[in-house]
Amino acid sequence: MSDTDEQGRTALNAAVDETIVAVRRMFYVLGDEIDRTEGPIEFTFHNGSTLLFDAGVDGAELRIGGAPWRDPFEPLVDPVNIEYVANSGKYTAFDVTDESPYDELAGRRVDAVSVVPLADGRPRAATLYLGRGMVKAESIADELIVTLISA
């Protein structure tokens, strides 16, 4: 297990007994088009801590982090990056706390967590259990798929 994986599992386990106060999703934006089908998800808890789920660079691993998502293009001042973003787009953070279906998460307490590992032990998916509901984040073919089951 790598140090990054250990830190991620520590952040995941630290979410137990914490209450969600905000949710951000990072959606891919190209011009006026926003792809809301996949992308990283970030939870902020009442104690100020953060839990971030993202697809790993290999397309199979679920990256789990304890720091807020940071836009690698900000500040957008480099002419090469400006041209790239204009032509190809980039992930952008959106506060979705008050948007359906994420609006059901604010105020919910994380009762338990679980991880589904890859064959080598790295995480492939993780689930936050919120009473009878849950949030599952899963890395599938370079995309982070988030499934919400409300109760």
- Burial of residue 34 (number of CB atoms within 10 Å: 0-12, 13-18, 19+): middle
CB 114 within 8 A of CB 45: no
Give me the numbers of helices (H) and strands (E) for the chain, helices first please.
2, 10
pLDDT at 74: 86
Indicate if the pLDDT at residue 147 is higher than 60: yes
d(CA 43, CA 104): 13
Between 2-11, 54-63, 66-75, 109-118, the lowest mean confidence (pLDDT) is in: 2-11
Res 4: pLDDT? 57
Cα distance between residue 102 and residue 3, in whole Å = 31
Single pTM value for the model: 0.91
Helices (H), ranges, the chain: 3-14, 79-88
Q: How many CA atoms lie within 13 A of 73 on its CB side?
A: 17
Q: Residue 39 and residue 21: Cα distance in Å, rounded? A: 20
- What pLDDT score was predicted for residue 142? 85
Cα 100 from Cα 114, distance rounded (Å):
24
Q: Cα angle vertex 5, ends 4, 10, to 5°?
A: 100
How far is 40 from 142, CA to CA, in rounded Å? Answer: 11
User: How far, in Å, CA of 101 to CA of 86, rounded?
Assistant: 30
Domain regions of the chain by residue span: 3-149
pLDDT digits (tens, 9 = 90+) for 31-83: 999 999 999 999 999 999 999 999 988 889 999 999 999 998 888 888 888 89
Tell me, what's the pLDDT at 5? 62
33 strand-pairing partners? 30
Per-residue pLDDT averaged across 114-136, rounded?
94
